[in-house]
Amino acid sequence: EVQLVESGGGLVQPGRSLRLSCTVSGFSSGDFSMSWFRQAPGKGLEWVGFIRAKRDGGSTEYAASVQVRFTISRDDSKSIVYLQMNGLKTEDTAVYYCIRGGYGDRFDFWGQGTLVTVSS
């Protein structure tokens, strides 16, 4: 059974950093592209970025709103995909979702999301 479980969310002050984890099971994380989406409270969905599968070189792409500040990486030995968020802003407050897919793979399975609140 495919499962994705996000963790690492919480309250953080503006300008600080936070790292989210997405632990996957039921498939090999390196065999698929993996993406992060987010949803601000009461708002719509926003694509954050993706990391390509190993077969495609494992490179990354990001939305303009997070380019430079956010980094997606993976540790396939642990079946974890990370979202490193630096220089957080209040507008980064959202539920962050991990999704399988994004480049060469369809978006199919979603995690349950983890809430990040950026506030002083």
Partner 1 sequence: QAVVTQEPSLTVSPGGTVTLTCGSSTGAVTSGHWPYWFQQKPGQAPRTLIHDTSNKLSWTPARFSGSLLGGKAALTLSGAQPEDEADYYCLLSYSDTRLWVFGGGTKLTVL
Q: Does 68 bind partner 1 (CB under 8 A)?
A: no
Which listed residue (8, 9, 58, 113) binds partner 1 by CB under 8 A? 113
Q: Does 47 bind partner 1 (CB under 8 A)?
A: yes
Q: Give the phi and the psi of residue 32 in degrees, each rounded to 5.
A: -130, 150
Which listed residue (41, 44, 57, 68) binds partner 1 by CB under 8 A? 44
Task: State the minimum distance, in angstroms, from the CB of residue 16 to partner 1.
Answer: 26
- Footprint of partner 1 on 86-105 (CB under 8 A): 97, 102
Binding residues for partner 1, per CB under 8 A?
Answer: 35, 37, 44-47, 50, 61, 63-64, 97, 102, 106-108, 110-113
